[in-house]
Amino acid sequence: MKKTLIGLIGVLLLLVACGQQPGSNSSEPIKLGVIGPLTGDVASIGQSMQRAYQLAAEEVNVEGGIHGRQVQLIFEDGRCNGKDGSNAANKLANIDKVSVILGAGCSPETLAAAPITEAAKIILLSSISSNPDVSKAGDYVFRDYPSDAYMGKFAAEYAYTQLGKRKVATLYCLNDFCTAIKKVFKNRFEELGGKVITEESFEPDSKDLRTQLTKIKETQPDIIYFLAFTDASVIGIVQAKELGIDVPLLGGDPWSDPDIHKKTGDAAEGILWAEPYTPLSEEFKNKIYAKFGQVDLTTGTGQAYDALHIIAKIMRKVGTDSTKIKDELYQVKDYPGVSGTIGFDENGDLLEARYIIHTLKNGKVEDAYK
């Protein structure tokens, strides 16, 4: 019995000396789940992030993987809604048995996935979800993308202070993302002394916004704060032009989607939108272009690349146990990512956030304020 025990200890010590985790199979890949909007609305953003995850995984594997094990990504389409996000999380947790999920993408996906991953003690690290409720979604929930609590405030201050607007109309979709940021924007704008004179909402899959836009036009606002994903944004921007609305349109980070710029044509000239300030380096851009060609780089792309590298670095230190990974994530304070310096607070949120206002001029994206 003593010899057997001594022999077992010897095997365990040998595994540790070789950089392996006890009980692991060095040839078995480490599976990481990924949830994002790969089809449907905002698919171009999800696909841009998918490429970033793939590039990062390839780099990790070229460097020897994690303790000699290769990283394998399992992509699931969350389609930017709660139902598909929940289904994806259930599959990754219960069938694929992953310990980490990169994502989800859109806030509705993440908020639906979080109860599932939290119960299973699976890391959920999102690189684009911005709803403030993500902050309290669970102990295993993190994001390297800033909360709308920052963006709504920044947009309100920009409209009031930089543009000098005092009367605003809000036009927003009825989902977690739009309603949360609209609330933050309204509270801050009115704190500054402005007034939200009308609020119009619509279902995310709406195909016609003329009724809402006509009502807004009648109230004569100084500016319209328009929150929507890709498809509804295209419809609203074009119809606002058709209705002769000539006040500025200010949107959120979904407006970084190149599909909006391409599909709206001249109607989008001069639109404004706020998004996290992520000055991607030429080195990073060139690595993406070398692997995938001259693809569009959307918001969340740099954050997705950083998220996988952060997880890989932690796994090399503590292995694949999700609780140990979670504890290490809370210790990240100054990771030098391509999307900026990353650190997490006690809620799993970024320690700091910076924003920029972009605009379209002659079909090209330009900086308007930062």
pLDDT band at 102 (very low <50, low <70, confident <90, very high): very high
pLDDT band at 148 (very low <50, low <70, confident <90, very high): confident
Q: What is the 3-state secondary structure (H, E, C) of 288-309?
A: HHHHHCCCCCCCCHHHHHHHHH
In the predicted model, what is the mean pLDDT of the chain? Answer: 92
15 has a pLDDT exceeding 90: no
Q: What is the reported pLDDT for 12?
A: 38
CA 110, distance to chain mean position in Å, is 9
Query: In whole angstroms, how far apart are CA 230 and each of 46, 47, 70, 201, 254?
Result: 12, 14, 35, 16, 7
21 has a pLDDT exceeding 80: no
22 has a pLDDT exceeding 70: no
Residues 33-42: pLDDT tens digits?
A: 999 999 998 9
2 has a pLDDT exceeding 80: no
SS3 content of the chain, % helix, strand, coil (to 5): 45, 20, 35
Dihedral sign, Cα of residue 76, residue 77, residue 80, residue 83: negative
141 has a pLDDT exceeding 80: yes
Structure tokens at 270: 């001069």
Q: What is the reported pLDDT for 370?
A: 85
Q: 3-class DSSP state for residue 26? A: coil
Distance CA 229, CA 208 (A): 14
pLDDT band at 149 (very low <50, low <70, confident <90, very high): confident
The domains of the chain, with CATH numbers, are: 29-147+280-342 (3.40.50.2300), 149-278+355-369 (3.40.50.2300)
8 has a pLDDT exceeding 60: no
Percent of the chain scoring above 90 in pLDDT: 88
Residues 224-271: pLDDT tens digits?
A: 999 999 999 999 999 999 999 999 999 999 999 999 999 999 999 999
pLDDT band at 64 (very low <50, low <70, confident <90, very high): very high
Q: What is the reported pLDDT for 5?
A: 39
For residue 101, what are the β-bridge partners?
33, 124
Q: What is the reported pLDDT for 26?
A: 60
Q: What is the reported pLDDT for 17?
A: 37
Percent of the chain scoring above 70 in pLDDT: 93
Average pLDDT (16-28) is: 49
Are 71 and 29 a contacting pair, CB within 8 Å? yes
44 has a pLDDT exceeding 80: yes
Q: What is the reported pLDDT for 9?
A: 38
